[in-house]
Amino acid sequence: MADDPQRNFRSAYYEKVGFRGVEEKKSLEILLKDNPLDLEKLSTFSQRFPLPSMYRIHVWKVLLGILPPHSDSHSLVGGYRKEQYQDILEALEVMRYINPSTPSTHVYLRMSQLETLVLPRCSETSAPDEENEDFLSISRAMEEIVDDPIDCYWLIKCFIHQFNTKFGDSVPHLPKSLEHYLSQEEPRLLTHLKTSGTLAQLPYGLWFRRCFAGCLPESSLQRVWDKVISGSCKILVFVALEILLSYKIMLMGISRPEGVVRFLCNIPQENTDAIVTKAIDLWHKYCGTPMHAV
């Protein structure tokens, strides 16, 4: 039987946007028609397959609790989120914490601080501390992914809250986990990093607290965040591992820790999609397809 050009075109398109076949697209569409939505199945799907942009923001909003599982309430709740956003924004303007020239990421930070009751006094505002810098870095990355400022704010706030709530106790252990998997994949590189004093100085904050915001371009970053939002922070370990493996020859030639850190904080951007793909393969290799892999 001759190949069906239309079928081949569809298959190529779905593979390009993240599906390996038409059946996977149909499966997701069926999941999104459920009422209420099955959050466990959505999480599993997002861990098993990458989400194309046409569905990503909606799935993120559901998994982060911005929208409820009952899809017939999405319009109503979306309206409430918009009203709440406007109320917080106007309150900050009246209190003169923000003005038209305030960068949007700093606006989101002040909004989150007001909502969580940690907004400093105007007279006590100072340069952002490390925790606030993490928030701002994630905010800048989210702005590259999400066009609508209201969606952007809620996704930033809920992503950071979920990450800290679910994985706050796990994050300090991720460097040791990275060391373990590196010993399995490339022990010579691990030895070099240890003997040069570099291992303890790797950019763990950039990788694990900021979830690679400011390190990976948004096209690659959102595939990593799919996994984090659906329940796994361990994917961050495998992205870090694959970065080390991908540049092992270069890293083996650098003897000073500051040189390694400088390079890893500014990795070339043209190869990151391949790095993330290989990282996801490693994640599946060591963890299978966990429901909520920590």
Torsion, Cα of 190, 193, 196, 197 (10° steps): -110
User: What residues does each domain of the chain span?
Assistant: 1-52, 64-167, 168-294
The answer to whether the Cα torsion of 166, 169, 175, 178 is positive or negative is: negative
Domain at 1-52: CATH code: 1.10.10.750
11 pLDDT above the threshold of 60: no
Average of pLDDT values for 173-194? 97
Q: How confident is the model at residue 173 (pLDDT cuts 50, 70, 90)?
A: very high
Rounded Cα–Cα distance for residues 120 and 118 (Å):
6
DSSP secondary structure of 123-145: GG--S--HHHHHHHHHHHHHHHH
CATH code linked to domain 168-294: 1.10.472.80
Which residues pair with residue 213 across a beta bridge?
216
What's the rounded Cα separation, in Å, for the pair 160 and 155? 8
Q: Give me the chain's average pLDDT, please.
A: 89
Please give the CATH superfamily to which domain 64-167 belongs.
Answer: Ypt/Rab-GAP domain of gyp1p, domain 2 (1.10.8.680)
pLDDT at 129: 77
- Structure confidence at residue 53 (pLDDT): 80
- The whole-model pTM stands at 0.88
Burial of 66 (0-12, 13-18, 19+ CB in 10 A): buried
